[in-house]
């Protein structure tokens, strides 16, 4: 009887040690997935991610957050390999797991909704993609509040989705909301504020929409948020269509960041969006442009502005 009891105890100890070893192996696998991905070893990362899913299912089963993490990693790896159906399948599994424990895993649920939405967009499923972007915002709203810091990235990503699908009015509204949140939570010197400012300026000043009334309303709201209205361009030099771009049939939207002094003169220009082939010509043209002075608190001030060129 004693021998039997000792054997049972030893088996239990061995089983516990084995499970501990497997958990450590899973942890290392997940880390290797990230390392391989960062080192651009995508085939290796995909293989490791699949191994992590298999091991997580063995240790934790199909309904635990550890398995959701593994599914998410695998979904991202498939997304990078442009295997969008496989990516969507794994990300949906992760979403389902997180939904069951949304009280404790709301941030993970929000992020996975967004990743899933992007895979669906890449797969051409725009309706499903929009639905998941909006679901992520709903989760943020219910858990943290619409005006929370956590709302910034989901709303910005949703704005990017609307920009890609050319739903310009929805893009404008979403960019403006993310701009408000960036200013409120991160400050005007932050990278978040800087990045979203580009999109807000582009959508308030470019000729994306033919509806001038809505565009002017948007610009008015933008000025109210900033506290002053940035001076409009009085003279925009049209850049030469680069020979190389013309021969290659390249077209697109190019955005140039310009530094404008208190008199409205452009002191410097740098392209922040668009094909490299256009950069020299658009920057040269932007530097020759002229703006109305920007008035803040009754004084002319230096500002950063953005010029958009459509080729």
Query: By mean pLDDT, which of 12-21, 34-43, 59-68 is the weakest?
Result: 12-21
State the burial class of residue 269 (Cβ atoms within 10 Å of its Cβ: 0-12, 13-18, 19+).
buried
Per-residue tokens: 179? 């701009």
**pLDDT band with cut points at 50, 70 and 90 for residue 213:** very low
Residue 230: partners with Cβ closer than 8 Å, 6 or more residues away: 201, 223, 294, 303, 305
pLDDT score for 103: 73
| pTM, full prediction | 0.65
Extents of the domains making up the chain: 21-140, 144-227, 232-311
Question: What is the third-level CATH fold of 232-311?
Answer: TolA/TonB C-terminal domain (3.30.2420)
CATH T-level topology, domain 21-140: 1.25.40
The token pair that represents 229 in the structure block:
């209205």
Summarised one tens digit per residue, pLDDT across range 44-86 is: 989 999 999 999 999 999 889 899 999 999 999 998 888 999 9
Considering only residues 101 and 201, tell me which one the structure prediction assigns the higher pLDDT.
Answer: 101
pLDDT of residue 308: 80
DSSP SS3 for 256: strand
Considering only CA atoms, which of 45, 128, 109 is closest in space to residue 79? 45
Q: Where are the alpha helices (DSSP H) in the chain?
A: 2-38, 42-60, 65-80, 84-100, 106-122, 126-143, 152-164, 168-185, 191-205, 212-226, 243-247, 279-287
Rounded mean pLDDT of 219-229? Answer: 56
pLDDT of res. 67: 92
pLDDT for 92-134, tens place per residue?
999 999 998 877 788 899 999 999 999 998 899 999 999 999 9
- Choice between 94 and 298, residue whose per-residue pLDDT is larger: 94
């Amino acid at each position: 009887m004693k021998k039997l009891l000792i054997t049972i105890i030893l088996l239990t100890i061995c089983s516990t040690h084995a499970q501990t070893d497997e958990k450590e192996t899973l942890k290392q696998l997940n880390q290797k997935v990230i390392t391989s991905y960062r080192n651009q070893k995508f085939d290796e990362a995909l293989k490791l991610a699949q191994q992590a899913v298999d091991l997580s299912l063995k240790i934790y089963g199909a309904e635990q957050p550890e398995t959701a993490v593994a599914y998410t990693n695998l979904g991202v790896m498939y997304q990078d390999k442009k295997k969008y159906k496989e990516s969507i399948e794994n990300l949906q599994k992760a979403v389902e797991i997180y939904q069951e424990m949304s009280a404790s895993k709301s941030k993970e649920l929000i992020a996975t909704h967004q990743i899933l939405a992007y895979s669906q967009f890449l797969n051409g499923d725009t309706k499903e993609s929009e639905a998941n972007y909006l679901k992520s915002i709903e989760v943020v709203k219910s858990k943290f509040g619409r005006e929370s810091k956590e709302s910034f990235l989901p709303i910005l990503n949703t704005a990017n989705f609307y920009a890609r699908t050319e739903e310009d009015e929805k893009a404008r509204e979403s960019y403006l909301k993310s701009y408000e949140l960036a200013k409120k939570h991160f400050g005007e010197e932050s990278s978040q504020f800087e990045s979203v400012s580009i999109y807000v300026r582009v959508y308030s000043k470019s000729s994306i929409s033919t509806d001038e009334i809505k565009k002017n309303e948007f610009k008015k709201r933008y000025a109210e948020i900033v506290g002053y209205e940035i001076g409009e361009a009085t003279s925009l030099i049209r850049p030469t269509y680069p020979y190389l771009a013309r021969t290659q049939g390249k077209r697109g939207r190019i955005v140039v960041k310009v530094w404008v002094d208190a008199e409205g003169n452009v002191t410097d220009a740098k392209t922040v969006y668009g094909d490299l082939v256009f950069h020299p010509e658009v920057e040269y043209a932007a530097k020759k442009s002229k703006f109305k002075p920007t008035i803040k608190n009754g004084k002319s001030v230096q500002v950063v502005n953005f010029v958009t060129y459509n080729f």
